């Protein structure tokens, strides 16, 4: 209830308009992804996403202080990914795959950090590896346009990873869908 209140407040504050170029997704696990320029991005999307959908976020950032920990875990039920441990014994996809396997959806920001809102940063490869391990999941692109007169959120038609699609081509294709 608190998360929905924050989401409604964020929508009012940002004057968000939602456009759908496709029907709302059917029940089941999905992967949503969007460009990322503001802390409000997940909040303005929350009310338009099926439940449960978990934002995927960097553990090092969202665990940095008690307020962030509380918001990420208790309010928004984020799936936190540890970006600081990079070795063969640690699979950063594990918590995301577990959420999908429970029938939950995920929201990723493949740029990996907030951009300036004017141009997309290169996409990181996590979404590719996630899609490759769960090729049955539909992937929904979401474009967030940040304007002084309000935000426009556009839900684009879903896609999937293509058979034998290489990582560079996949990432370029997804990036183009929100560019």
The tens digit of pLDDT for each residue in 127-169 reads 999 999 999 999 999 999 988 888 999 999 999 999 999 999 9
Instruction: Please report the sign of the dihedral spanned by the C-alpha atoms of residue 178, residue 144, residue 116, residue 44.
Output: negative
pTM of the model: 0.92
> In angstroms, what CA-CA distances link 120 with 5, 10, 11, 32, 169?
29, 22, 22, 17, 16
What does DSSP assign to residue 159? Answer: B
The tens digit of pLDDT for each residue in 64-77 reads 999 999 999 999 99
């Amino acid at each position: 209830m608190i998360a929905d209140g924050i989401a409604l407040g964020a929508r009012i504050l940002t004057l968000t308009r939602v456009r759908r170029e496709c029907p709302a997704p059917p029940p089941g696990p999905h992967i949503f992804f969007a460009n990322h320029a503001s802390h409000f991005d997940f909040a303005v999307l929350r009310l338009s996403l099926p439940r449960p959908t978990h934002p995927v976020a960097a553990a090092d950032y969202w665990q940095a202080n008690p307020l962030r920990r509380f918001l990420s875990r208790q309010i928004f039920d984020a799936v936190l990914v540890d970006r600081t441990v990079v070795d063969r014994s640690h699979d950063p996809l594990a918590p995301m795959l577990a959420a999908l396997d429970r029938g939950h959806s995920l929201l990723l920001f493949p740029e990996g950090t907030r951009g300036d809102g004017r141009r997309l940063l290169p996409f990181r490869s996590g979404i590719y590896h996630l899609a490759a391990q769960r090729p049955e999941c539909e992937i929904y692109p979401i474009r967030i346009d940040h304007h002084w007169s309000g935000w426009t959120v556009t839900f684009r038609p879903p896609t999937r990873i293509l058979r034998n699609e290489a990582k560079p081509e996949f990432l370029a294709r997804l990036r183009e869908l929100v560019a």
